[in-house]
DNA sequence: TTGTGGTGT
């Protein structure tokens, strides 16, 4: 390649390289479509700002790049940096919040640069990579998820393999991103030759600029196409009815072009679909949400008949999936959001207004291929009252694993760490307390050996502890499966609208009378058996497996995720924890291990369907899906405490014996919640444990 | 009488 020193390239030089007879990266001739791709790329706004971006990049260690979606930031900027960084002989990483984006961008950019995917341009996501690992210099640019870079940061705290890190979609503010930025800020102070480019939507750019000592900001103004925004004149009564009416009106009177409707969830979506179908002809209506079987999702995205298409979707179409040729957007202004309440250690799921940033993102979905229209089912005043940006995820989730990773990275002052937005102090305090209860931190908040392992284990910390505990009970492999099932957030059980009762009925074939954890395990084992049997008989059993899952109302995507999580965790645990399995005939040991490991998540039966949690001292019902409903076991452990639709629920529970709790440190007198007068707030807990103790003593005497 | 969306050498 033409000799350009590191960080000395000009836009003209790069253009010359791209116009040359041979590909400067490979020395080979360009692929046939090179010139056409180049022409398309040179139309993109991001490409047209090459020189301005290079100037800012050369001048400063950190820079922020802002601009609307669809201008080619994610594809063009990393390519530009490949040429500019060529002299450094180190790699460039470009992070993405989602796996799909990482793989698709890598594929596209490898094409545009005229190289083979996995050679000069590659990707890395969990359980899958296309990079040249053996020749360190070969892969110049790697698209990866934020989590992958965080992992690499744990191993190599100065990221010595890289000369430049590009953070894309920074405005999405995932938990991993906030942790990554905080750690990168430390890295760049140690490594002055490491460059950082943060790409974000316009609205949040100033925030990042301030965080990085007022570094330069380049804004690429303009968007690919205009979208006209139409507000409601006065607030409407029922957003579902309103949404349906807008769709019908657009279909009857509007110019050609597909319609995309944003609603909070599956229920609302199915309702609107029904309303619209009843009143239109020649309109293909598709629901779209994550628990929809993959085939139905594909149909919604790919179908292209002569009819107009209307897709009624959750937030999944806001960022994760792109629908071609959308001209109309109907935005309800609402979404379901999960917010963590640190005091109750409880997640609350509810329908809330979206942010302005999110409204803009939804609107932009109408202007990807030509000018569009966005109908907002709220007033201009309603829009003005929305929060400018979506609350960063680190502010509304539990932070046990974040704090653990932070301590593992060598930062112990977790309370006054330099965050972009700090987690709630109460969240941090809770996390530190939990990590101590789980023995990952000692009394000086120092990392223990087992805390060190938990930080590197690709499972939630509490599940690493559960596997460790299970090893003592001779069932570490059963617990590994349960851990993978619980760490994978999406449920393996489907309950499609219209088939709820059938789904509930079929679920009972896996039901374990004493445990939802074991119910999940039964279903997972059944899937693994079917998978193995089919793999022996067919070379590509995927579609048959998909059918098998469909019949049993199991979510195959979730089950495959569980498989990957399990394999990765198993690889990590090899040599650290002895593998063992409980007898199929008696899973008592698994329940006992769950009781010990999840002892901070115990609840005692109160009255009727009501349980009261020991730690938070709050009343909650078993989830209606639990196989323990109506059985009134005295003690249970649960995986999560949720609030949905105003009701507090305990999800994924297992019945346990009081005898298993009496000797645990967590249940010794001092830790029990007390009232101001020093009286036990839950005398029933004490009584139950005392009774259990008496029973144990009596048994010992008899022997 | 139940549920938005992501992610992990």
pTM greater than the 0.95 cutoff? no
Task: Give the confidence band of A674 by pLDDT, cuts at 50, 70, 90.
Answer: low
Give percent above pLDDT 90 in chain A.
70
10 Å CB burial of residue A618 (0-12, 13-18, 19+) is middle
Count of alpha carbons within 13 Å of A448, Cβ hemisphere only? 15
- With CA of A145 and C1' of each nucleotide, the nearest comes out as B7
**CB–CB of A654/A517 below 8 Å?**
yes
The per-residue pLDDT for range A428-450, each reduced to its tens digit, is: 998 998 899 899 999 888 999 99
Mean pLDDT over each residue of chain A, to the nearest integer: 91
- With CA of A652 and C1' of each nucleotide, the nearest comes out as B2
Protein-to-nucleotide distance from the CA of A196 to the C1' of B1, whole angstroms: 52
Dist CA A205 CA A211 (whole Å): 10
What pLDDT, on the 0 to 100 scale, is given for residue A678?
Answer: 63
Dist CA A124 CA A129 (whole Å): 4
**H or E element: which one contains A524?**
helix A516-537
Residue A522 reports pLDDT greater than 90: yes
What pLDDT, on the 0 to 100 scale, is given for residue A609?
Answer: 83
Protein-to-nucleotide distance from the CA of A498 to the C1' of B1, whole angstroms: 15
The per-residue pLDDT for range A81-114, each reduced to its tens digit, is: 999 998 888 999 999 999 999 999 999 999 999 9
Query: Alpha carbon A161 to chain centroid distance?
Result: 26
What pLDDT, on the 0 to 100 scale, is given for residue A338?
Answer: 87
Dist CA A684 CA A662 (whole Å): 14
And the tokens for A292? 């929809």
Protein-to-nucleotide distance from the CA of A77 to the C1' of B1, whole angstroms: 52
Task: Give the confidence band of A158 by pLDDT, cuts at 50, 70, 90.
Answer: very high
Task: Give the confidence band of A376 by pLDDT, cuts at 50, 70, 90.
Answer: very high
Q: Which residue has the tokens 């144990």?
A: A696
The per-residue pLDDT for range A605-653, each reduced to its tens digit, is: 988 889 999 988 899 999 988 999 999 999 999 999 999 878 899 999 9
The per-residue pLDDT for range A255-284, each reduced to its tens digit, is: 999 999 999 999 999 999 999 998 889 999
Task: Give the confidence band of A455 by pLDDT, cuts at 50, 70, 90.
Answer: very high
Q: What strands, in cross-sheet order, belong to the sheet with A227-231?
A: A227-231, A372-376, A326-331, A258-262, A308-313, A283-288
The per-residue pLDDT for range A381-415, each reduced to its tens digit, is: 999 999 999 899 999 899 999 999 999 988 888 88
Count of alpha carbons within 13 Å of A283, Cβ hemisphere only? 29
Task: Give the confidence band of A489 by pLDDT, cuts at 50, 70, 90.
Answer: confident
Q: Could you tell me which residue, A324 or A79, shows the higher pLDDT?
A: A79
- With CA of A504 and C1' of each nucleotide, the nearest comes out as B2
Protein-to-nucleotide distance from the CA of A308 to the C1' of B8, whole angstroms: 40
**Protein residue minimizing CA–C1' distance to B7:** A147
Residue A670 reports pLDDT greater than 60: no
Radius of gyration of chain A from its Cα atoms, rounded to whole angstroms: 27
**Protein residue minimizing CA–C1' distance to B6:** A98
Q: Which residue has the tokens 């953070």?
A: A167
User: What value does the mean pLDDT take over residues A591-603?
Assistant: 94
Protein-to-nucleotide distance from the CA of A146 to the C1' of B9, whole angstroms: 13
**H or E element: which one contains A176?**
helix A175-190
Count other C-beta atoms under 10 Å from residue A16's C-beta: 12
**CB–CB of A649/A642 below 8 Å?**
yes
And the tokens for A376? 């907002």
* Three-class DSSP category at A338: strand
List chain B nucleotides near protein: any atom < 7 Å from a Cβ.
1-9
Count other C-beta atoms under 10 Å from residue A481's C-beta: 25
Within A93-174, residue ranges assigned H as helices are 99-112, 146-155
- With CA of A459 and C1' of each nucleotide, the nearest comes out as B8
Query: Alpha carbon A21 to chain centroid distance?
Result: 44
Q: Which residues partner with A210 through β-bridges?
A: none
The per-residue pLDDT for range A221-241, each reduced to its tens digit, is: 877 788 999 999 988 788 999
**Protein residue minimizing CA–C1' distance to B4:** A336
Query: Alpha carbon A19 to chain centroid distance?
Result: 41
What pLDDT, on the 0 to 100 scale, is given for residue A322?
Answer: 82
Protein-to-nucleotide distance from the CA of A125 to the C1' of B7, whole angstroms: 10
**Protein residue minimizing CA–C1' distance to B2:** A624
The per-residue pLDDT for range A115-139, each reduced to its tens digit, is: 999 999 999 998 889 988 776 668 9
Dist CA A467 CA A577 (whole Å): 8
Q: What is the DSSP string of A350-382?
A: EEEE--HHHHHHHHHTT-SSS-EEEEESS-HHH
**Protein residue minimizing CA–C1' distance to B8:** A458
- With CA of A314 and C1' of each nucleotide, the nearest comes out as B4
10 Å CB burial of residue A128 (0-12, 13-18, 19+) is exposed
Task: Give the confidence band of A1 by pLDDT, cuts at 50, 70, 90.
Answer: low
Give percent above pLDDT 70 in chain A.
97
**CB–CB of A324/A349 below 8 Å?**
no
Dist CA A429 CA A414 (whole Å): 9
Residue of A260, A311, A302, A262 lying closest to A284 (CA atoms): A311
What pLDDT, on the 0 to 100 scale, is given for residue A679?
Answer: 63
* Segments of A112-256 assigned E as strands: 121-125, 128-130, 141-145, 162-167, 195-200, 217-220, 227-231
User: What value does the mean pLDDT take over residues A652-679?
Assistant: 81
What pLDDT, on the 0 to 100 scale, is given for residue A89?
Answer: 83
Question: Could you tell me which residues come within 8 angstroms of residue A192 by beta carbon, excluding any fewer than 6 positions away?
Answer: A61
Protein-to-nucleotide distance from the CA of A417 to the C1' of B4, whole angstroms: 30
**H or E element: which one contains A500?**
helix A500-507
**H or E element: which one contains A454?**
helix A449-456
What are the C-alpha distances in Å from A685 to residues A88, A492, A611, A661, A667?
64, 34, 12, 11, 9
Protein-to-nucleotide distance from the CA of A280 to the C1' of B5, whole angstroms: 30
What pLDDT, on the 0 to 100 scale, is given for residue A626?
Answer: 92
What phi, psi does A122 have (nearest 5°)?
-150, -175
Count other C-beta atoms under 10 Å from residue A238's C-beta: 11
What pLDDT, on the 0 to 100 scale, is given for residue A291?
Answer: 86
Residue A680 reports pLDDT greater than 80: no
User: What value does the mean pLDDT take over residues A18-25?
Assistant: 92
User: What value does the mean pLDDT take over residues A30-38?
Assistant: 93
CA angle A291, A295, A297 (to 5 degrees): 55
Q: Which residues partner with A674 through β-bridges?
A: A680
Protein-to-nucleotide distance from the CA of A532 to the C1' of B9, whole angstroms: 27
Dist CA A177 CA A188 (whole Å): 16
And the tokens for A581? 């399995």
């Amino acid at each position: 390649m033409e000799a350009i020193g590191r960080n000395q390239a000009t836009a003209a030089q790069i253009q010359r390289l791209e116009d040359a007879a041979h590909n400067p990266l490979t020395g080979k001739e360009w692929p046939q479509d090179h010139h056409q791709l180049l022409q398309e790329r040179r139309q993109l706004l991001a490409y047209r700002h090459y020189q301005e971006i290079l100037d800012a990049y050369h001048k400063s260690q950190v820079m922020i790049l802002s601009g609307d979606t669809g201008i080619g930031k994610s594809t063009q900027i990393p390519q530009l940096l490949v040429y500019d960084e060529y002299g450094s002989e180190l790699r460039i990483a470009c992070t993405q919040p989602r796996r799909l984006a990482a793989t698709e961008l890598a594929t596209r950019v490898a094409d545009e640069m005229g190289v083979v995917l996995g050679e000069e341009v590659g990707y890395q996501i969990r359980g899958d990579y296309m990079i040249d690992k053996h020749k360190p210099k070969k892969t110049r640019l790697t698209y990866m998820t934020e989590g992958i870079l965080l992992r690499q940061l744990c191993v190599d705290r100065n990221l010595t393999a890289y000369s430049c890190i590009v953070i894309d979609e920074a405005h999405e503010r995932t938990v991993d991103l906030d942790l990554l930025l905080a750690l990168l800020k430390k890295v760049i102070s140690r490594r002055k030759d490491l460059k950082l480019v943060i790409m974000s939507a316009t609205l949040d750019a100033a925030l990042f600029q301030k965080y990085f000592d007022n570094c330069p900001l380049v804004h690429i103004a303009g968007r690919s196409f205009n979208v006209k925004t139409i507000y409601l004149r006065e607030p409407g009564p029922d957003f579902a009815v309103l949404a349906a009416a807008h769709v019908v009106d657009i279909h009857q009177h509007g110019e050609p072009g597909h319609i995309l409707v944003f609603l909070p969830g599956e229920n609302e979506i199915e309702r609107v679909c029904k309303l619209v179908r009843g009143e239109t002809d020649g309109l293909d209506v598709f629901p779209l949400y994550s628990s929809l079987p993959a085939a139905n999702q594909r149909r919604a995205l790919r179908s292209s008949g002569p009819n107009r298409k209307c897709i009624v979707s959750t937030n999944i179409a806001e960022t994760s999936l792109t629908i071609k040729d959308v001209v109309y957007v109907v935005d309800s202004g609402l979404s379901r959001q999960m917010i963590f309440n640190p005091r109750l250690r409880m997640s609350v799921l509810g329908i809330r207004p979206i942010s302005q940033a999110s409204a803009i993102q939804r609107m932009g979905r109408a202007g990807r291929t030509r000018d569009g229209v966005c109908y907002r089912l709220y007033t201009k005043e309603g829009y003005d009252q929305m929060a400018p940006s979506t609350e960063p995820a680190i502010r509304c989730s539990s932070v046990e694993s974040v704090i653990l990773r932070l301590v593992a990275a060598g930062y112990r002052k977790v309370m006054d760490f330099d965050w972009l937005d700090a987690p709630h102090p109460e969240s941090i305090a809770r996390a530190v307390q939990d990590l101590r209860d789980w023995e990952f931190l000692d009394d000086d908040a120092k990392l223990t050996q087992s805390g060190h392992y938990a930080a590197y284990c690709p499972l939630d910390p509490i599940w690493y502890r559960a596997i460790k505990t299970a090893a003592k009970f001779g069932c570490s492999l059963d617990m590994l499966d349960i851990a993978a099932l619980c760490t994978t957030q999406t449920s393996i059980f489907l309950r499609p609208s219209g088939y709820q009762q059938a789904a509930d009925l079929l679920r009972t074939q896996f039901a374990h009378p004493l445990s939802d954890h074991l119910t999940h395990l039964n279903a997972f084992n059944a899937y693994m058996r079917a998978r193995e049997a089919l793999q022996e008989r067919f070379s590509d059993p995927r579609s048959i497996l998909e059918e098998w899952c469909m019949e049993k109302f199991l979510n195959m995507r979730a089950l495959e995720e569980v498989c990957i999580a399990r394999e990765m965790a198993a690889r990590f645990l090899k040599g650290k924890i002895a593998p063992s399995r409980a007898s199929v005939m008696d899973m008592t040991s698994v329940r006992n291990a769950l009781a010990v490991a999840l002892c901070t998540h115990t609840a005692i039966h109160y009255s009727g369907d009501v349980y009261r949690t020991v730690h938070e001292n709050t009343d909650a019902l078993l989830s209606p899906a639990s196989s323990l409903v109506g059985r009134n076991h005295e003690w249970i452990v649960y995986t999560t405490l949720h609030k949905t639709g105003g009701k507090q629920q305990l999800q994924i529970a297992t019945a346990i014996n009081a005898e298993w709790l009496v000797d645990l440190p967590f249940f010794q007198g001092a830790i029990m919640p007390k009232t101001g007068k020093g009286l036990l707030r839950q005398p029933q807990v004490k009584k139950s444990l005392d009774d259990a103790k008496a029973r144990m003593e009596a048994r010992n005497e008899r022997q």
